[in-house]
Amino acid sequence: MSSLGLVFVDQLSKNNLVYESIGAEDSLLFFEPMSSFYELPHHKQKLIYLITSLRKYIPTIKHERVIHEKVTENHEGLTKTLKRIFSEQQFEKLYVTKPSDYQTLKELMFFCQSNSIILNVLEDTKFVSNEEDFDLWSKGKKSLIQEYFYRWIRKKHSVLMDEGKPEGGKWNLDKENRKGASALKEIIPDRKPIKTDELTIGVMVEVDKIFNKSFGDFENFNWATTHKEAWNQMLEFFDTYFKNYGSFQDAMKSNEPFMFHSLLSAYLNSGLLDPMDCIEEAECRYRNNEAPLNSAEGFIRQIIGWREFIRGIYWSNMPHYKELNFFNNTNKLPSFFWDGNTKMHCIADVVDTTKKNAYAHHIQRLMVTGNFAMLSGISPNDICDWYLSVYIDAYEWVELPNTLGMATFSDGGVVGSKPYAASGKYINRMSNYCSSCEYNPKNTIEDDSCPFNYLYWNFLMKNQGLLSKNPRMGLIYNTLSKFQEPFKEKVKRKSDIFFKEIF
């Protein structure tokens, strides 16, 4: 039986199972023009990164019958491409690593069913665990808590363990990851430039022509596009930034978009880096006394905890998960999410660095733009599309649960046990944004009040019926009950005025 192997732009793992599943006489299709490239205004750096990485990757795969489908201005799409190849080759089996979104998988299933083709969906080797792991762990549980999945995976793979117990006696050192920007006394080293070769420059020209309405700048493009370059970026992180990563993991600072973060998520999510390689290196650096435990545990938790857990949440809850809207939010995304034209310095800074780098670290995404979207009642579809578009590491399997669940609580508690709602006081504590902002993070109902402050209390008042019975919200609702009605009325009035200005 003849077969076709299919590889997408974010499936560049060296050990992609497609290669061992097809024979030498079968064709191997590398498919570049993902449908979302044409449906969403993806950051130009994201497009350049994915297309360049694929084009450099293809020559490393030793297979005789290769088909490379490239981006064009008006591409026919995945189904029509497969139909064209099928009409020429009449393959009977299609092998593919599980795609990064449900819609693409559904499209493949429909195509194969319509043409009596056997579809073989293979395990994605970009992860430490497999889907059977998540199914086994989650079976029979009323609620799925990431912390316990994280512990389960760590024990299974003996990661950062000491004779069956967590290294250092604690599973989670999150409380040691919370130093704010004011505690930072040393200069953060600049990131080393990555040489831009002719192939990359050619892709830049191509992307700027085909996707000229896409978001962002590409002048600051500084991303690895091969396995070797990605490996070197990993080593640079561990050599230069890792020791301070743990303490300042949640800190934010103007003109320091990367802080001590690894910037490795883009490579993990496209297959240029293997997650277990990163985990083993982190543990090795800790055991060699090159970094503290809070850096090693915090880094490993992001990969073996959140990343693996989020993937499980996505696939176990799709397709209905995408339609969840716990707060029934319908407000449209403000224009300053695209142009940064706002007096709120924190949002302006995050949007600016996103435009320049296709990147913002997890606290900027969660507690600045995500927090604002939730407090402002922005439609989950709008904010999810924005995150999926603007960040180089964003694919639906990872973006949707993080945005819909963790950042905006639009899933009603599937991912998190309570909304990550916060006022401007949190942003002031963790960053230096407020020192150069027109708004005062200490005020709530005064003329110069930080919008996050009155939006925070307005959010709690508006959604009291939905949230007051949440056991983790009891303390804050007890505080709210002590406020006088004139204060609450002013909060609501200021919020209404603000919403009229931005929507």
Contacts by 182-189, CB closer than 8 A, 24 or more apart: 182/432, 183/247, 183/248, 183/251, 184/248, 184/251, 184/253, 186/244, 188/241, 188/256, 188/258, 188/259, 188/260, 189/240, 189/241
| CA nearest neighbour of 375 among 427, 426, 423 | 423
Q: Interior CA angle at 228 toward 154 and 52, to 5°?
A: 110
For the stretch 49-53, contacts whose Cβ atoms lie closer than 8 Å and that sit 24 or more positions apart, written own/partner, are 49/221, 49/223, 49/225, 49/266, 49/270, 49/358, 49/392, 50/9, 50/10, 50/270, 51/9, 51/203, 51/206, 51/207, 52/199, 52/200, 52/203, 52/225, 53/9, 53/12, 53/225, 53/226, 53/270, 53/272
Is the CATH number 3.20.20.105 carried by domain 336-502? no
3-state secondary structure of 52: helix
End-to-end CA distance of the chain: 57
Q: How far apart are alpha carbons 112 and 120 in whole angstroms? A: 10
> What is the pTM assigned to this prediction?
0.96
**Beta bridge partner(s), residue 68:** 30
HSE, side-chain direction, 13 A CA sphere, residue 389: 20
CATH number of 131-183+241-317: 1.25.40.80
Predicted confidence at residue 65, as pLDDT, reads 95
Per DSSP, the three-state class of 353 is helix
The DSSP-derived string for 69-83 is E---TT---HHHHHH
- The three-state DSSP-derived secondary structure of 248-312 is CCCCECCCCCCCCCCCCHHHHHHCCCCHHHHHHHHHHHHHCCCCCHHHHHHHHHHHHHHHHHHHH
Q: How far apart are CA 203 and CA 45, in angstroms?
A: 10
**pLDDT value, residue 131:** 87
Instruction: Spell out the residues 6+ positions from residue 17 whose beta carbon is closer than 8 angstroms to its own.
Output: 95, 97, 122, 123, 125
What is the CB neighbour count within 10 angstroms for residue 164? 7
**Tens-of-pLDDT digits for all 503 residues of the chain?**
799 999 999 999 999 999 999 999 999 999 999 999 999 999 999 999 999 999 999 999 999 999 999 999 999 999 999 999 999 999 999 999 999 999 999 999 999 999 999 999 999 999 999 989 999 999 999 889 999 999 999 999 999 999 999 999 999 999 999 899 999 988 999 999 999 999 999 999 999 999 999 999 999 999 999 999 999 999 999 999 999 999 999 999 999 999 999 999 999 999 999 999 999 999 999 999 999 999 999 999 999 999 999 999 999 999 999 999 999 999 999 999 999 999 999 999 999 999 999 999 999 999 999 999 999 999 999 999 999 999 999 999 999 999 999 999 999 999 999 999 999 999 999 999 999 999 999 999 999 999 999 999 999 999 999 999 999 999 999 999 999 999 999 999 999 999 999 99
Nearest to 412 by CA among 498, 337, 299, 326: 326
Q: How far apart are CA 267 and CA 338, in angstroms?
A: 25
Torsion region of 77: left, alpha or beta (phi above 0 gives left; psi -120 to 50 gives alpha):
left
Strand pairing class (3-8; 27-31) = parallel
Sheet holding 66-69, edge to edge: 66-69, 27-31, 3-8, 93-97, 118-122
- Beta-bridged to residue 119, according to DSSP, are 94
Quote the DSSP letter at residue 40: S
Q: Return the CATH class of domain 3-122.
A: alpha beta
Domain coordinates in residue numbering, the chain: 3-122, 131-183+241-317, 336-502
Place of tokens 């230069």: 240
Structure tokens, 376: 């402002």
Q: How many Cβ atoms are within 10 Å of 105's Cβ, its own excluded?
A: 18
Fill in the amino acid letter for 436: S
What distances in angstroms separate CA 280 from CA 144, 208, 283, 291, 303, one per listed residue? 27, 39, 5, 13, 11
DSSP letter (8 states) at residue 189: P
Q: Which two tokens stand for residue 153?
A: 């995976």
Output the pLDDT for position 498.
97
- Written as six digits, the tokens of 408 are 């905006």
Distances (CA, A) of 231 to 87, 235, 268, 281: 41, 6, 11, 11
